[in-house]
Amino acid sequence: MKEYVVAILGATGAVGQRLISELEHAQIPVKEVKLLASKNSAGKKLKFKNQEIKVEEARPDSFNGVDLVLSSAGGAVSQKLLPEAVKRGAVCVDNTSAFRMADDVPLIVPGVNDDQLVNHHGIIANPNCSTIQMVAALYPLHVKWGIKQIIVSTYQAVSGAGKAARDELLQQAQDRLNNQETEAKILPTASAKKHYPIAFNLLPQIDVFEDDGYTHEEWKMIHETKKILYNDQDSQQIKVTATCVRVPVEIGHGETVYFVLKDKSVTAAAIQQEIKKTPGLVLQDDPQNQIYPQPLLAAGKKETFVGRIRPDQENPGAFNMWVVADNLLRGAASNTVEIAECLVRDNLVHVPK
């Protein structure tokens, strides 16, 4: 059985650490693990299956002899280093937005469109966290009945903006509880000119604004969804619009998803059945017993949780739904490692000539 040398790029970050623990349990025969990070983090020691591994500074030569790269070190780092890794024969699964919309880069949610991995040229992209959980929930419905339109509002946890954002939320909450003035330095996005408190607040800005008034996060949800669900001629016609809002939650994104099916005769019960039988999805939809997805219940889990499925009573074929998933696992590390598992399963861990 072939064994693989796996490098984790960005190993010390919130997603990087989850990549390590997900890889420990993955269906991937691992010969050796290399942990790569920025110069600042080099020398730190992290554990893989109880074995201590020293973090090395990521450089082009770090990828010599590496078969598989799991990357979550930021878009600029991916842009610079992944082509170097591919040049050295490594297949890269990238968790940043750097390559997602490139024509020759498959954008993959396992269980949805992993059949497209066969077309890879060395780099495979992991979609945005908020896209993954929505597409995972909608895909079985799209295959069975065809989706015409999606209108989504997100309730996104601060850990999506990194560990510093999570620390900031907790510090601001403590300041409020102490009745003290508080400070904001990270959110809505570190590069922004202005920062606003997130504790006990809502920020309708995730990532930077585009010229058309949509944020880049909203742009990602719209265009990544189209790219992933485009599995036949018709699918390109799916209309998608999104509003993304940051909420004072540590882990776990919520989404209200309004979707319109081509088939106007579908019932909520039929949708619940499809969700229930799809691997990776968990139906939590029993209102009379107050069963519905919640971030505190989804945190630490790899599945996507779906509930509150009910028809728009005045628009046949249209439904409301509530979807929750752990943004660091389902929305990042688990999806990345599952892509790597598919690559191993399908014997695709090699860069095509």
Q: Which residues are catalytic?
A: 129, 253
Q: Which of 237, 162, 240 is nearest to 198 (CA)?
A: 162
Q: How far is the CB of 44 from its own copies (least distance, A)?
A: 24
In order of 73, 134, 261, the CA distances from 139 in angstroms are 29, 8, 12
Distance CA 19, CA 228 (A): 23
Residues 6+ apart with CB under 8 A from 213: none
CB of 285 to its own copies, least distance (A): 8
Comparing C-alpha atoms, which of 281, 269, 282, 276 is closest to residue 309? 269
**228 belongs to the binding site for its own copies (CB under 8 A):** no
Number of residues that bind its own copies (CB under 8 A): 61
The residues pairing with 324 across neighbouring beta strands, listed in sequence order, are 254, 305
**Least distance (Å) from its own copies to the CB of residue 12?**
23
Is 166 a known ligand-binding residue? no
CB of 140 to its own copies, least distance (A): 20
Task: List the structure tokens of 313.
Answer: 């009573």
**Is there binding between residue 23 and its own copies (CB under 8 A)?**
no
Of 73 and 199, the one with the shorter C-beta distance to its own copies is: 199
**What is the DSSP-derived secondary structure letter of residue 192?**
S
Q: Which stretch binds its own copies (CB under 8 A): 45-53, 68-76, 78-86, 149-157?
A: 149-157
Residue 209 found at the interface with its own copies (CB under 8 A):
yes
Task: List the beta bridge partners of residue 291.
Answer: 286
CA distance 150 to 128: 17
Residue 130 labelled as part of a binding site: no
Q: Which among 55-63, 102-110, 118-126, 190-198 is the span making contact with its own copies, rule CB under 8 A?
A: 190-198
Task: Determine whether the annotation assigns residue 160 to a binding site.
Answer: yes
Among 74, 106, 160, 197, binds its own copies (CB under 8 A): 197
Of 21, 38, 116, 201, the one binding its own copies (CB under 8 A) is: 201
- Do the strands 253-261 and 147-156 form a parallel or antiparallel pair, or are they unpaired? antiparallel
**Any contact of residue 221 with its own copies (CB under 8 A)?**
no
Touching its own copies, residues 119-148 (CB under 8 A): none
Query: 311-316 long-range contacts, Cβ below 8 Å, gap at least 24?
Result: 311/267, 311/268, 312/258, 315/260, 316/264, 316/265
Can you list the alpha helix ranges (DSSP code H) found in the chain?
14-24, 75-87, 129-145, 163-177, 216-229, 268-277, 295-298, 334-345
Q: Whole-number minimum distance, CB 142 to its own copies, in Å?
A: 17
300 annotated ligand-binding residue: no
Q: Does 240 bind its own copies (CB under 8 A)?
A: yes
Residue 199 vs 342, nearer CB to its own copies: 199
Contact flag: residue 193 with its own copies (CB under 8 A) = yes
The answer to whether the beta carbons of residues 293 and 266 sit under 8 Å apart is no
Given a contact cutoff of 8 angstroms between Cβ atoms, the answer to whether 331 and 308 are in contact is no
Q: Which x/- pattern over 275-314 shows residues binding its own copies (rule: CB under 8 A)?
A: ------------xxxx-xxxxx----------xxxx-xxx
Provide the 10 A C-beta neighbour count for residue 288. 5
**160 touches its own copies (CB under 8 A):** no
Q: Which residues contact 289 (CB under 8 A, 6 or more apart)?
A: none
Return binding residues: 12-15, 40-41, 100, 156, 159-160, 246, 327
Summarize the annotated binding site for NADP(+) as residue ranges.
12-15, 40-41, 159-160, 327
Q: Which residues are annotated as part of the binding site for substrate?
A: 156, 246
User: What residues form the annotated binding site for phosphate?
Assistant: 100
Interface residue list for its own copies (CB under 8 A): 149, 151, 153, 155, 170, 173-174, 176-177, 188, 192-194, 196-197, 200-205, 209, 212-215, 239-241, 243, 245, 247-250, 252, 254, 256, 258, 268, 287-290, 292-296, 307-310, 312-315, 318, 320, 322, 324
